[in-house]
Amino acid sequence: MEALEQQIQEMKARLEGVEKRVPSNKISMIVFSGDLDRALAAFIIATGSVAMGVDAVMFFTFWGTPLLRDKKKQAGGKDLMSTMFGTMLPKGVEQLKLSKMNMAGMGTAMMKSLMKKKNVASLEQMVEMAGQLGVKIYICEMSMDLMGFKREEMIDYPDLTFCGVAKFLEEAMDSRIQLFL
Protein backbone atom coordinates (compact mmCIF):
# COMPACT_ATOMS: atom_id res chain seq x y z
CA MET A 1 0.00 0.00 0.00
CA GLU A 2 2.77 2.42 0.92
CA ALA A 3 4.64 1.50 -2.23
CA LEU A 4 1.56 2.37 -4.27
CA GLU A 5 1.19 5.75 -2.60
CA GLN A 6 4.83 6.49 -3.22
CA GLN A 7 4.37 5.58 -6.86
CA ILE A 8 1.42 7.96 -7.16
CA GLN A 9 3.49 10.76 -5.63
CA GLU A 10 6.28 10.09 -8.09
CA MET A 11 3.85 10.09 -11.00
CA LYS A 12 2.39 13.40 -9.82
CA ALA A 13 5.82 15.00 -9.65
CA ARG A 14 6.67 13.75 -13.11
CA LEU A 15 3.37 14.96 -14.53
CA GLU A 16 3.99 18.42 -13.12
CA GLY A 17 7.39 18.44 -14.80
CA VAL A 18 5.85 17.45 -18.11
CA GLU A 19 3.11 20.08 -17.80
CA LYS A 20 5.71 22.78 -17.28
CA ARG A 21 7.35 21.79 -20.53
CA VAL A 22 4.18 21.90 -22.64
CA PRO A 23 4.43 25.08 -24.70
CA SER A 24 1.68 27.71 -24.73
CA ASN A 25 -0.60 28.27 -27.67
CA LYS A 26 1.80 30.81 -29.08
CA ILE A 27 3.84 31.60 -32.17
CA SER A 28 7.26 33.27 -32.01
CA MET A 29 8.70 34.88 -35.09
CA ILE A 30 12.09 36.32 -35.81
CA VAL A 31 11.75 39.07 -38.39
CA PHE A 32 15.29 39.30 -39.71
CA SER A 33 14.46 40.58 -43.16
CA GLY A 34 13.70 44.17 -44.03
CA ASP A 35 12.00 43.27 -47.30
CA LEU A 36 8.44 44.39 -47.94
CA ASP A 37 7.22 40.95 -49.01
CA ARG A 38 8.69 39.12 -46.04
CA ALA A 39 7.53 41.72 -43.53
CA LEU A 40 4.04 41.52 -45.00
CA ALA A 41 4.04 37.74 -44.65
CA ALA A 42 5.21 38.07 -41.05
CA PHE A 43 2.37 40.44 -40.14
CA ILE A 44 -0.24 38.37 -41.96
CA ILE A 45 0.84 35.29 -40.00
CA ALA A 46 0.90 37.25 -36.73
CA THR A 47 -2.58 38.73 -37.14
CA GLY A 48 -3.94 35.44 -38.45
CA SER A 49 -2.53 33.66 -35.40
CA VAL A 50 -4.37 35.93 -32.99
CA ALA A 51 -7.56 35.30 -34.94
CA MET A 52 -6.98 31.57 -34.44
CA GLY A 53 -6.61 32.09 -30.71
CA VAL A 54 -2.84 31.77 -30.83
CA ASP A 55 -0.78 34.53 -29.18
CA ALA A 56 1.83 36.06 -31.45
CA VAL A 57 5.26 37.39 -30.59
CA MET A 58 7.51 39.12 -33.12
CA PHE A 59 11.20 39.65 -32.52
CA PHE A 60 12.75 42.22 -34.87
CA THR A 61 16.44 41.96 -35.47
CA PHE A 62 19.04 43.12 -37.99
CA TRP A 63 17.42 44.30 -41.26
CA GLY A 64 14.00 43.94 -39.67
CA THR A 65 14.82 46.63 -37.08
CA PRO A 66 14.63 49.75 -39.34
CA LEU A 67 11.09 48.99 -40.41
CA LEU A 68 9.91 49.85 -36.92
CA ARG A 69 11.33 53.36 -37.15
CA ASP A 70 8.78 56.14 -37.14
CA LYS A 71 9.08 58.27 -40.27
CA LYS A 72 7.97 61.36 -38.35
CA LYS A 73 10.41 61.02 -35.50
CA GLN A 74 13.97 62.30 -35.38
CA ALA A 75 16.79 61.42 -33.04
CA GLY A 76 19.76 63.69 -32.63
CA GLY A 77 23.26 63.23 -31.27
CA LYS A 78 24.36 60.52 -33.70
CA ASP A 79 27.89 59.95 -34.90
CA LEU A 80 28.83 59.82 -38.59
CA MET A 81 28.37 56.06 -39.01
CA SER A 82 25.00 56.05 -37.28
CA THR A 83 23.81 58.96 -39.39
CA MET A 84 24.94 57.09 -42.51
CA PHE A 85 23.11 53.93 -41.54
CA GLY A 86 20.11 56.03 -40.62
CA THR A 87 19.87 57.61 -44.07
CA MET A 88 20.62 54.45 -46.04
CA LEU A 89 18.19 52.14 -44.29
CA PRO A 90 14.42 52.38 -44.72
CA LYS A 91 12.69 54.64 -42.26
CA GLY A 92 9.47 52.88 -41.48
CA VAL A 93 7.43 50.28 -43.36
CA GLU A 94 6.49 52.66 -46.18
CA GLN A 95 10.03 52.66 -47.50
CA LEU A 96 10.52 48.91 -47.72
CA LYS A 97 11.24 47.29 -51.07
CA LEU A 98 10.40 43.94 -52.57
CA SER A 99 13.07 41.26 -52.21
CA LYS A 100 12.59 40.36 -55.87
CA MET A 101 11.58 42.38 -58.93
CA ASN A 102 12.17 45.71 -57.25
CA MET A 103 13.48 47.15 -60.55
CA ALA A 104 14.70 50.43 -59.07
CA GLY A 105 11.47 50.87 -57.17
CA MET A 106 9.17 50.27 -60.14
CA GLY A 107 8.32 46.72 -59.11
CA THR A 108 7.58 47.78 -55.55
CA ALA A 109 5.34 50.60 -56.74
CA MET A 110 3.50 48.20 -59.04
CA MET A 111 3.03 45.67 -56.24
CA LYS A 112 1.68 48.38 -53.93
CA SER A 113 -0.84 49.57 -56.51
CA LEU A 114 -1.85 45.95 -57.15
CA MET A 115 -2.34 45.42 -53.42
CA LYS A 116 -4.53 48.49 -53.25
CA LYS A 117 -6.57 47.34 -56.24
CA LYS A 118 -7.05 43.89 -54.76
CA ASN A 119 -7.89 45.31 -51.36
CA VAL A 120 -4.90 43.70 -49.63
CA ALA A 121 -4.08 45.55 -46.42
CA SER A 122 -0.91 47.66 -46.62
CA LEU A 123 1.95 47.00 -44.26
CA GLU A 124 1.12 50.20 -42.36
CA GLN A 125 -2.41 48.93 -41.79
CA MET A 126 -1.12 45.49 -40.81
CA VAL A 127 1.16 46.94 -38.14
CA GLU A 128 -1.71 48.99 -36.74
CA MET A 129 -3.97 45.95 -36.73
CA ALA A 130 -1.32 43.82 -35.04
CA GLY A 131 -1.18 46.43 -32.28
CA GLN A 132 -4.95 46.37 -31.83
CA LEU A 133 -4.95 42.57 -31.71
CA GLY A 134 -2.27 42.47 -29.04
CA VAL A 135 0.63 41.10 -31.05
CA LYS A 136 3.74 41.54 -28.92
CA ILE A 137 6.77 43.17 -30.51
CA TYR A 138 10.33 42.81 -29.27
CA ILE A 139 13.19 44.78 -30.77
CA CYS A 140 16.74 43.53 -30.61
CA GLU A 141 18.72 46.01 -28.56
CA MET A 142 21.99 44.98 -30.17
CA SER A 143 20.72 45.68 -33.71
CA MET A 144 19.49 49.07 -32.53
CA ASP A 145 22.90 49.85 -31.13
CA LEU A 146 24.78 48.53 -34.18
CA MET A 147 22.79 50.63 -36.61
CA GLY A 148 22.75 53.60 -34.30
CA PHE A 149 18.98 53.73 -33.84
CA LYS A 150 17.58 55.34 -30.73
CA ARG A 151 14.52 54.29 -28.80
CA GLU A 152 12.87 57.66 -29.31
CA GLU A 153 12.79 57.20 -33.09
CA MET A 154 10.86 53.91 -33.02
CA ILE A 155 7.10 53.69 -33.66
CA ASP A 156 4.45 54.11 -30.98
CA TYR A 157 3.20 50.57 -30.56
CA PRO A 158 1.01 49.29 -27.73
CA ASP A 159 3.20 46.36 -26.71
CA LEU A 160 6.81 47.07 -27.62
CA THR A 161 9.84 45.95 -25.63
CA PHE A 162 13.57 46.25 -26.24
CA CYS A 163 15.38 43.06 -25.46
CA GLY A 164 18.13 40.59 -26.21
CA VAL A 165 18.32 37.03 -27.46
CA ALA A 166 17.43 35.48 -24.11
CA LYS A 167 13.97 37.06 -24.11
CA PHE A 168 13.31 35.70 -27.58
CA LEU A 169 14.49 32.22 -26.60
CA GLU A 170 12.31 32.26 -23.52
CA GLU A 171 9.31 33.11 -25.71
CA ALA A 172 10.33 30.60 -28.39
CA MET A 173 10.68 27.78 -25.88
CA ASP A 174 7.18 28.52 -24.68
CA SER A 175 5.72 28.53 -28.22
CA ARG A 176 4.31 25.79 -30.34
CA ILE A 177 5.49 27.44 -33.54
CA GLN A 178 8.72 29.28 -34.25
CA LEU A 179 9.49 30.99 -37.54
CA PHE A 180 12.47 32.82 -38.95
CA LEU A 181 11.58 35.32 -41.61
What is the binding site for another protein (CB under 8 A)?
Answer: 44, 47-48, 50-54, 118-121, 129, 133
Least distance to another protein, CB of residue 52, Å = 5
167 vs 180: CA distance, rounded Å? 16
Residue with Cβ nearer another protein (44 or 181)? 44
Closest distance of CB 79 from another protein, Å: 41
* Nearest distance in Å: CB 83, another protein: 38
Q: Which is nearer to another protein, 17 or 53 (CB)?
A: 53
Taking the least distance from each CB to another protein, the nearer of 87 and 119 is 119
Distances, alpha carbon 157 to alpha carbons 9, 104, 113, in Å: 47, 31, 26
Beta-strand runs (E) in the chain:
24-31, 55-60, 136-140, 160-163, 175-180
Would you say 89 or 129 has its CB closer to another protein? 129
Nearest Cα residue to 157 out of 180, 120, 181, 124:
124
Pick the closer one to another protein by CB: 75 or 120: 120
* Nearest approach, Cβ of residue 61 and another protein (Å): 24
Give strand pairing partners of 163: 140
Minimal distance in Å, beta carbon 96 to another protein?
19
CB atoms within 10 A of CB 153: 22
Q: How far is the CB of 36 from another protein (least distance, A)?
A: 17
The torsion angles phi and psi of 178, rounded to 5 degrees, stand at: -130, 135
Which CB sits closer to another protein, 22 or 104? 22
DSSP secondary structure letters along 57-110: EEEE-GGGGGGGB-TT-------HHHHHHHHHS--SGGG---SS--TTTHHHHH
